[in-house]
Amino acid sequence: MSGRTLYDKLWDSHLVSQRDDGSALIYIDRHLLHEVTSPQAFEGLSLAGRKPWRLDANLATVDHNVPTTNQAAGVAAISDPVSRLQISTLDDNCDELGITQFKMADLRAGIVHVIGPEQGATLPGMTVVCGDSHTATHGAFGALAHGIGTSEVEHVLATQCLVTKKMKNMLVTVTGPLGLGVTAKDVILSIIGQIGTAGGTGHAIEFAGEGIQSLSMEGRMTVCNMAIEAGAPVGLIAVDQTTIDYVEGRPFAPKNEDWLRAVEVWADLASDSNAVFDTEITIDGGLIEPQVTWGTNPEMVTGIKGAVPNPAGIVDPIQRGSIERALNYMGLKGGQSIESIQLDRVFIGSCTNSRIEDLRAAAKVVEGKRVSDSLIQAIVVPGSGLVKAQAEKEGLDQIFRAAGFEWRDPGCSMCLAMNADKLGRGEHCASTSNRNFEGRQGAGGRSHLVSPAMAAAAAIAGHFVDVREWI
């Protein structure tokens, strides 16, 4: 008999009932909420006269829509009335029902996928859902985590369960060691470049191998965060000592006897050696270069020493058409070198890359240098109030400010440009975020996804450069 994958184990331990029609009811341990995908769910719950099943499984914060300047002035000071109403609606819903929420300007507030792990509210072996596709992030802890829609947010509030169907298992092994200056972001972009934006559709991807195990928890979160950009709602990494060390002592983490028991239970959160995966892929981590996206979805990516593809050389007409359309939107020429792409803005932040390690990596590149005069703006947006405070304690804010970066309050910011932080039409941005879709960072904006160190180096140079030559 074959063994079980990590995903199989998490599924089995959360199965409430398997229905005859192929669907299943699984139990949700942690439900994270934010202002954008929850108001309609709270309204639906109220209209149906229902109450939350279990209050303490929920944790809410505001992130997508908050301003990243002067949050201390409070919600009433938000100038956009539509944003203000959405943020105050979450505050009201949480207050009324008694749901724990970190409100704007609370030191513990920030991007939902940063604060969950930071608080120990995300634990190994849990199921975690949130009305946000980047919930895959939490899989870095050996937790079964994925994004859900607003109807499902309402369903989880009402029942503490989700109606779902088991996914297939995929294993992506990244051999190691990674090259100097190559980060978790480069690993995941490289994986997406190889398997494509739909390569993981219908699958839970487990990331394994030395190239993954050698990463810190911050790096592992970056990898799992972007599983969804390869089409997989779930990314997973087995629990090891790195995981345990990160979780220990965090506010929501188990204590004393519970901690000892938990660590014992968590030891089993890895795929059995004889587990069978539906799909297996191995990537040579040593060959991965710092990555830069050139197109309008994350699979349109290449190494820093590479060039934008020439559509004339593509045989498949649909693929050729999509590359032509992407280059037209991006204002790039086929064959153009990646290093020749000139930038207008640089954004360091988002649930992919706004944790303390990301800011340290960027600050290290920036220290003692100046942002290129050719840039309109370079901003750093920490992932949470606590990340911001830690960075300030280490003097990173001073390094960024001295170089000409703006140092902001926490939030999703320019990753999806729901607030005032956005690209202008035609502007190129080196961004540490996760999506380079048309208009994602502002109507007509041109996004290039990179690691924090690559974004920092690009800010100094005014165009993309190989950060490996700077270290």
Partner 1 sequence: MQQFISEKGLVVPIDRSNIDTDQIIPKQYLKSIKRTGFGVNLFDDWRYLDPGEPGMDHSARRINPDFVLNDSKFNGATLLMARDNFGCGSSREHAPWALVEYGFRAVIAESYADIFYNNSFKNGLLPVVLAAKELEYLFDKSLGDLPLELMVDLPSQTVKGPDGFETRFEIDSFRKTCLLDGLDEIGLSLAEADGIRAYENTQRQRTPWLF
Rounded to an integer, what is the distance from CA 326 to the centroid of its chain?
A: 23
Q: Which is nearer to partner 1, 65 or 222 (CB)?
A: 65
* Token reading at 97: 């029902």
* Distance, CA of 227 to CA of 136 (rounded, Å): 7
For residues 429 and 339, the answer to whether their CB atoms sit within 8 Å is no
Listed ranges 16-24, 215-223, 303-311, 348-356: which one lies at the site for partner 1 (CB under 8 A):
16-24
Chosen residue from 69, 100, 106, 202 binding partner 1 by CB under 8 A = 202
Residue keyed to tokens 């220290």: 367
Q: Which is nearer to partner 1, 224 or 262 (CB)?
A: 262
For the chain, helix, strand, coil in percent to 5 are: 40, 20, 40
For residues 383 and 389, the answer to whether their CB atoms sit within 8 Å is no
Distances (CA, A) of 207 to 144, 450, 452: 13, 20, 21
Q: Which is nearer to partner 1, 100 or 322 (CB)?
A: 322
154 is a site residue for partner 1 (CB under 8 A): yes
Q: What is the CA radius of gyration of the chain?
A: 21
Residues in a beta bridge with 446: 428
Q: Which is nearer to partner 1, 195 or 387 (CB)?
A: 195
149 is a site residue for partner 1 (CB under 8 A): yes
**Shortest CB 282 distance to partner 1, Å:** 24
- Dihedral sign from CA coordinates of 432, 433, 434, 438: negative
433 is a site residue for partner 1 (CB under 8 A): no
262 is a site residue for partner 1 (CB under 8 A): yes
Strand 428-431 and strand 30-33: pairing?
unpaired
For residues 15 and 153, the answer to whether their CB atoms sit within 8 Å is no
Chosen residue from 67, 116, 125, 382 binding partner 1 by CB under 8 A = 125
**Near partner 1 in 309-338, by CB under 8 A:** 318, 322, 325
Q: Which is nearer to partner 1, 119 or 183 (CB)?
A: 119
Listed ranges 68-76, 84-92, 105-113, 356-364: which one lies at the site for partner 1 (CB under 8 A):
84-92
Q: Which is nearer to partner 1, 88 or 390 (CB)?
A: 88
131 is a site residue for partner 1 (CB under 8 A): yes
Chosen residue from 6, 60, 121, 148 binding partner 1 by CB under 8 A = 148
242 is a site residue for partner 1 (CB under 8 A): no
**Near partner 1 in 40-59, by CB under 8 A:** 40, 43, 48, 50, 53-54, 56
**Shortest CB 100 distance to partner 1, Å:** 15
* Distance, CA of 214 to CA of 193 (rounded, Å): 21
* Token reading at 49: 């006269």
